[in-house]
Amino acid sequence: MTRPPRILPLIIFSQFTGTSLWFAGNAVIGDLQLAWGLGSQSLAYVTSAVQLGFICGTLLFAILVIADRFSPRRVFFCCSLAGALANGALLMVPPGLETLLLLRFATGFFLAGIYPVGMKIAAGWYQQGLGRALGYLVGALVVGTAFPHLIRSSGAELPWQQVIAGVSILALGGGFAMLLAVPDGPHLSSGSAFNSRALGLVFRSGRFRASAFGYFGHMWELYTLWAFIPVLLLAYTINHEISLNVPFWSFLAIAAGFIGCVAGGVISNRVGSAPVAAIQLAVSGLCCLLSPFLFEAAPLPFLAFLLLWGVTVVGDSPQFSALNAAYAPRAYVGSALTIVNSIGFLITVFSIQLASSILPLIGAQYIFLLLLPGPVAGLLALRPLLGGRPDG
C-alpha cells in the first residue's frame, strides 16, 4: 500500500491540535486565580492534575488494550472529542479549585488516547523512517503544549474563556482530520495485553535500566521547567523593570523544543540515540546550573538562553523513546513502555510540587537549581549506552 504524502503532515497536525489541551489550564491560570480566587499553589495543582490524569489513562488504555482492540484513529478521534469537552467544560461549571482540578484530570486522562495513540498511528504507516517521523510527532507535542500561551499572547485583554474555547475547537478539528483523512496504515500491528508481572522483569535488563533511568532524569526536569517558565519570565520583568510579552516568550521557549526533537532525530541516524540524548541532557542540565546567573543578564542573552534551554530540555525525548523501545524485553515491549512512561510522568508530579512549595522561599531565579539532579542522574544512568552505537 502506497503511503499518500498527506499522511505525515495530517498526523503531525492532529497531534499538535490534540496536545494543545495539555497546558490550556496553565495558560489561563493567572486569570483564574483572580476570577475564581485561587491560591498561588494552584499552578502546581493544575499541572499535576493533568499529569495524574495522563498516568491513569495510559495505564487503563494499556490494561484494556484499547488501541489494539479498536481502530487507533477512531480512538484518537473519540479522545480528542472527550478531551475538548473536558477542557471546554471550564466555561460552564461554577468556579472552584476542586472543579478545575477534576476537569484538568479528565483532560489528562483523554490525552492518553491522543499522544501515545498518535505514535501508534504513525507506526502503522512507517517501517522505514519511523524515528524521523517520531521526531516530528514529539515536536508537534511540544508546539501543541506551547500553543495556548501563543493564543494568550495575542492580546493582553483576550478573555480566558476565548483561550479555552479556541483550544477546544482546535483539538476537535484535529480529531476530525485524523478520523476522516488518515486511514489505518498497512503496518499497523497488534500489541500484547498489559502484563503486571512485567514490572518485576523489565528492569533486569541492564541496557533497558540505563535508558529508563536516563528518561526518568529527563522527566524530573522537563514538565517543571515548562510549567514555571511563565513564572520565571514574570519575575524577570519585575526584577529588571522591563516589559515583556510573557505568554509570547513562554510559547517561544517551549516551542523551541521542536528544533531539538527534529534535529536530534536527524543526527541520531548517524551517531545513535544515546549520544544525542546525552548531549542534550547535559546542555539542559548546564542551563539549570546557570539559570540564577542568567537571570541577572540583559534581556537579549537571557531570552537567547531560554530558547537554548527550550531546544535541549525536550530534544532528547524522542531519543529516550527510541532507546526504551530498543532495549525493552521483546516479550513485554508494550507493558515495559507503559510502566516507564507512567513512572516518568509520576516523577513530574513530585518535581512540580517540590518547585511550587520552594518557590515562595527562594524566588523564581533559584527554583530551577532543584531540577539539576534530574539531568545529572540521567547522564550517570546513560553511561553504559555511550561509546559506539549500541542502539543500532
DSSP secondary structure letters along 92-150:
TSPS-HHHHHHHHHHHHHHHTTTHHHHHHHHHHH-SSSHHHHHHHHHHHHHHHHHHHHH
- % of the chain at pLDDT higher than 90: 68
Output the pLDDT for position 192: 64
| Closest among 220, 218, 213 to 353, alpha carbons compared | 220
**Is the residue at 109 inside a domain?**
yes
Last residue of a domain, one of 152, 183, 214: 183
Q: How many residues does the chain have?
A: 392
pLDDT at residue number 360:
93
pLDDT of 120 strictly over 90: no
The answer to whether residue 259 scores a pLDDT higher than 80 is yes
Q: Which of 56-70, 185-199, 267-281 is most confident?
A: 267-281
3-state secondary structure 201-257: CHHHCHHHHHHHHHHHHHHHHHHHHHHHHHHHHHHHHHHHCCCCCHHHHHHHHHHCH
Same domain, yes or no, for 162 and 247? no
Same domain, 315 and 208: yes
Provide the pLDDT for residue 389: 47
pLDDT attached to residue 46: 96
Number of domains in the chain: 2
pLDDT of residue 254 exceeding 70, the answer is yes
Mean pLDDT of 326-332: 79
Is residue 256 packed enough to be buried (19+ CB in 10 Å), middle (13-18) or exposed (0-12)? buried
The 10s digit of each residue's pLDDT in 159-177 is: 899 999 999 999 999 999 9
- The reply to whether 147 and 240 lie within a common domain is no
Does residue 210 share a domain with residue 91? Answer: no
Low-confidence winner among 1-5, 96-100, 148-152, 379-383 (lowest mean pLDDT): 1-5
Is 378's pLDDT higher than 90? yes
Does any domain span residue 188? no
Residue 330 lies in a domain: yes
pLDDT given at position 131: 67
Q: Of 189 and 142, which is predicted with more confidence?
A: 142
Tell me which of 183, 217, 235 is where a domain ends: 183
Q: Would you say residue 299 has pLDDT above 80?
A: yes
Q: Is residue 349 part of a domain?
A: yes
**Is the pLDDT confidence value at 2 over 90?**
no
pLDDT band at 94 (very low <50, low <70, confident <90, very high): very high
107, 226: one domain: no
With bands split at pLDDT 50, 70 and 90, how would you rate the model's confidence at 79?
Answer: very high
Q: Is residue 189 a part of any domain in this protein?
A: no
Residues 168 and 80 in one domain: yes
Q: Are residues 179 and 209 in the same domain?
A: no
Residue 48 falls within a domain, yes or no? Answer: yes
Distance CA 225, CA 371 (A): 8
Once rounded to an integer, what is the mean pLDDT over residues 108-132? 83
> Would residue 141 count as lying in a domain?
yes
Quote the pLDDT of residue 270.
86
The model's pTM: 0.91
Of 183, 213, 244, which residue constitutes the final position of a domain?
183
Give the residue carrying C-alpha cell 525525548: 317
Q: Report the CATH number at residue 16.
A: 1.20.1250.20
pLDDT of residue 391: 46
Residues 312 and 385 in one domain: yes
Same structural domain, 179 and 201: no
pLDDT value at 390 more than 50: no
pLDDT for the residue 346? 96
Do 38 and 103 belong together in one domain?
yes
Give the closest residue to 288 by CA, choosing from 380, 350, 373, 383: 373
199 in the same domain as 179: no
The pLDDT tens digits of the residues spanning 40-67 come to 899 999 999 999 999 999 999 888 878 7
Q: Per mean pLDDT, which range of 29-43, 274-288, 295-309 is the poorest?
A: 29-43
Residue 146: pLDDT over 90? yes
> What CA–CA distance (Å, rounded) separates 325 from 208?
9
Whether residue 356 lies inside any domain: the answer is: yes
CA-closest candidate to residue 293, choices 365, 376, 368: 365
Do 213 and 356 lie in one domain? The reply is yes
Question: Would you call 385 helix, strand, or coil by DSSP?
Answer: helix
pLDDT at residue number 201 = 78
Instruction: Specify the amino acid at residue 12.
Output: I
pLDDT(222) > 90 = yes
217 pLDDT tier (thresholds 50, 70, 90) = very high
> Average per-residue pLDDT in the chain?
90
d(CA 62, CA 66): 7
Q: Which domain holds residue 214?
A: 194-392
Q: Kindly tell me if the per-residue pLDDT of 336 is higher than 90.
A: no
